[in-house]
Structure 1
Amino acid sequence: MKPATLNSLPPCAALEHRLWLLIDSRVFGGIESHVLQLAQGLQQHQQSVVVVILRRYQSDTPLLQKLSETDVPFCILADAVPQRSLNQALLAALRHYQPHLVHAHGYKASLLSRLAVKRSGLPIRQFTTYHAGETPVGRVKLYDWCDRYTAFLSHHSFSVSIDIARKVPFHTTRLNNFVDTDKLTFKHGKQIAFVGRLSPEKGPERMITIATSLPDTMFDVYGDGVCYTDLVAQSPNNIRWHGHQTHMHTVWPNIGVLILCSRAEGLPLAALEAMAQGILVIASPVGELPTLIQHGVNGFLADSEQAFCDVLQHWQTLPQTKQQALRLAARESVLAHYSSSAVIPQLLTHYQKPI
């Protein structure tokens, strides 16, 4: 079959929107959460926005479900421009629909969009946000290097943490991650939980050590990943493994304390979502977490498994009034500095600047 010409592209009404958020998505992780929050925040600020997903890896991609549930316009690029490579498809779509701005998230979306925007010959702005706090391995390490060292080709770049910004050899603007606090109420339960991807950089095996050291305390783990099978096999009886959660909004009300024991982070949305709901966060001092969390004021920092145990035991001895004060301080921190109403206007000032 002959590739479609520019004038015969299958119609995709969503691509008529002027602001494209470009992403390559397989699972629903931190970048997907950020893009969803960003799209909703931009909609609330009357921006014409669409989430453009490079390709469909499976029929039931979690991000597609979330976008549909929240009425955020989206389009699968490979479906909208068939019979072409992703490079050709993106270039054809840019020339046909001529958006004002393409904001890429993740190395693949960034690399493809930089090249396509340059080749289009059109006055389209290309922005990139750097999210990854961990150091990748294998082939992804090469792609990540290329993404960082071609940052100068973007019209503007953002990073969600100082540590991530330091890895990019060109200027980036530090921009806080954020959540829509209007949809997060001050409500929490009693579970002590880990929420996140079960992969080495998240340090989920530390939950085994913590739970073993506190045998009379029950822990809950929400998430899936490459470490899942091994972790369950060596798990003590006081950990409940819940697997991947499609609808975390039904889970958060059960959680009272969130443990983030990562080895590397940017600024995890899980921490922001938890704190906005008054859930106490105990976290490793990595990425932007020491900026977000003031130890003993709106949460706690712990730099070892023993420190996590000590903080948990301390927390359990605090009077209810002190616990409530910490929870309220956590929510206020997010409202002031990490809500969509606080961050989106900052982003729009960059969107609206001329090339």
Structure 2
Amino acid sequence: MKVMLFLDSSGFGGIESHVLQLAMMLHQRQVAVEVMFFRHYPRHPLYARLAQAGICYRFARGSLRVVRRMLSELAAMDTLHAHGYKASVLARLFKPLCAARVVTTFHAGETGDRKVRCYEWLNRLTAPLSDNLAVSESIRTRVGRDCKVVRNFIDTRQVLPCTERTGGQSPLRFAFVGRLSHEKGLDRYLACARLFPEHQWHVFGDGPQAELLNEAQNCMVHGAVASMETYWSGIDVLVMPSRQEGLPMAAIEAMAHGTLVIATQVGQLSELVDHRFLVPEPDWQQIPALIDVIAGWEPGLWQDFQRRAQRRVETQFSASALWREYQAIYRYCPAQQSAETATAAQTTTVE
């Protein structure tokens, strides 16, 4: 049995982080996995991350003929798992020429501009041609078809030990991590930063609203980074004042590292984040009041919330917690896989 993960990606965001985690989950459990990119984009950080993890990847070079050839290599017991609207639509259209099952995941929590809305409409229109997953209930509802909600997750075995927060320190270290866009609430984050110039405010990401940072005098702008792994130890609070979300990988990563998350109650964030640190999306102006509260915490309280956040990720949003669900999705049977591996080894020996 083999799983081919298919996507068209020019940068590193939530989808790319999800694909990396999914590929590592499969690879570490001896499931044959390969990532196929529709196009090659120079210096894409995901390529190096996959290579570092020992995961194979190939490029279709933007050619439908190459996509068809690669998919023809898959057998009936294999699974083609597409991510993102372009790869998902292509996977469904090629399904009659592919022996493998076709599974797609709907990731987008935001509706986006007119072009994105058009693509997502086409994605939903073709959804009956595949087995479908969604990373949040709100996304599943928009699909309007048979669709299973499966949470985002991370491999907690790769998480570095967190730095204990001293609490009550000045300045605290806040961060915005994600696409610099209206949906993600960059403008709201910057408004909070202006209210608390005594604290440190970091911005990680790139996007159409990057020009807003030109007037953000008390923000440290890092741009898009290949991985947040080395940065979390220097962040006390991740602020997510989003207007729309699914289940953001950044929030899961932050909590796994013991970073507090303050967010608007959108998407599936209510399943992840402590409700005391969620505010209704229309009332995002309540976020500064929460900042006032946590700024006065004692060290013991910081450490208590760190441990709670890490336990929640470990028990409900880790690769270990989600593995059984993905076993069922891919119809993976370890005994059958072992038999196939043994047969392949015998065949190789004879040849």
TM-score by length of 1: 0.86
Structure 1 letter corresponding to 2:325 = Q
Measured after TM superposition, the shift of residue 348 of structure 1 is 1.2
Residue-by-residue CA offset, 1:194-246 (whole Å, 9 max, x unaligned): 111111111111122111122322211111222112x12221x3222121212
Provide the residue aligned with 1:161 in structure 2: 136
Match for residue 261 of structure 1? 241
Equivalent position to 1:90, from 36, 56, 67: 67
Which of 9, 22, 36 does residue 25 from structure 1 map onto?
A: 9
Q: How does 1:78-227 map to 2 (within 5 A)?
A: 78=61, 86-98=63-75, 100-118=78-96, 120=97, 122-154=98-130, 156-188=131-163, 191-227=173-209
Residues 293 and 301, structure 1, Cα contact 8 Å, conserved in 2: no
Q: Which residue of 1 aligns with 2:258?
A: 278
Partner residue in 2 for 1:314: 293
- 1:104-142 CA-to-partner distances (Å, cap 9, x unmatched) read 001111111111121x1x531000110000003223322
Q: Which position in structure 2 is the counterpart of 1:335?
A: 314
Residue in 1 that maps onto 2:53: 70
CA shift, 1:60, in A, is 1.5
Aligned twin of 2:326: 347
User: Could you tell me whether the CA contact under 8 Å between 2:205 and 2:225 is conserved in 1?
Assistant: yes
Q: Per the alignment, in what secondary structure is the counterpart of residue 55 of structure 2? A: coil
Matched, 1:240 2:220: yes
1:300 shift after superposition: 4.3
How much has 1:43 moved relative to structure 2? 1.0
Gaps of 5+ in 1: 1-16, 79-84
- The 8 Å contact of residues 128 and 145 in structure 2, kept in 1 or not, is answered as yes
How many percent identity over aligned positions?
Answer: 36
Structure 1: distance between partners of 2:102 and 2:306? 39
**Of 46, 49, 71, which residue of structure 1 is paired with 2:33?**
49
**Alpha carbons of structure 1 residues 301 and 326: separation in structure 2 relative to 1, 3 Å:** farther
1:339 & 1:218 partners in 2: Cα distance? 30
Q: Which moved more, 1:28-37 or 1:87-96?
A: 87-96
Please list every run of at least 4 consecutive aligned residues from structure 1 whose deviation after the TM superposition is greater than 6 angstroms: none
Q: Secondary structure at the match of 2:226?
A: coil
Q: Is contact 2:34–2:57 with CA below 8 Å preserved after alignment?
A: yes
CA distance in 2, matches of 1:110, 1:22: 8
SS of match in other structure, 1:103: strand
How many angstroms does 1:305 deviate by? 4.4
8 Å contact 1:219–1:238 — kept in the other structure? Answer: yes
Q: 1:276 to 1:353 in 2, by over 3 A?
A: closer
Supply the distance in 2 between the matched residues of 1:317 and 1:324 (Cα, whole angstroms). 14
Query: Aligned partners of 1:319 and 1:306: how far apart in 2?
Result: 25
Deviation for aligned residue 1:41 = 0.5
Tell whether the 8 Å contact from 2:173 to 2:199 is kept in structure 1 after alignment.
Answer: no
RMSD: 1.9
| Contact persistence 2:4–2:33 (CA under 8 A) | yes
Separation (CA, whole Å) in 1 of partners of 2:141 and 2:68: 31
Show CA shifts across 1:4-37 (max 9, x none). Answer: xxxxxxxxxxxxx821000001111100000000
Tell me by how many angstroms 1:334 deviates.
0.4
Amino acid across the alignment from 1:317: G
* C-alpha separation in 1, matches of 2:201 and 2:105: 34
What one-letter code is carried by the residue in structure 1 that aligns with 2:13? G
Paired with 2:226 and 2:36, the residues of 1 have a C-alpha distance of 21
Compute the displacement of 1:295 (Å): 1.9
1:59 aligns with 2:42: yes
**Number of aligned positions between the proteins:** 324
Contact 1:149-1:169 within 8 A present in 2 as well: no
What is the distance in 2 between the residues matched to 1:104 and 1:285?
28
Structure-1 separation of matches of 2:246 and 2:74 = 33
3-state SS, counterpart of residue 201 of structure 1: coil
Q: Secondary structure at the match of 1:167?
A: helix
Are 2:112 and 2:183, in contact at CA under 8 Å, matched by a contact in 1? no
Q: Which residue of 2 aligns with 1:287?
A: 267
Q: 1:96 to 1:171 in 2, by over 3 A?
A: closer
The 1-side partners of 2:261 and 2:56 are apart by: 33
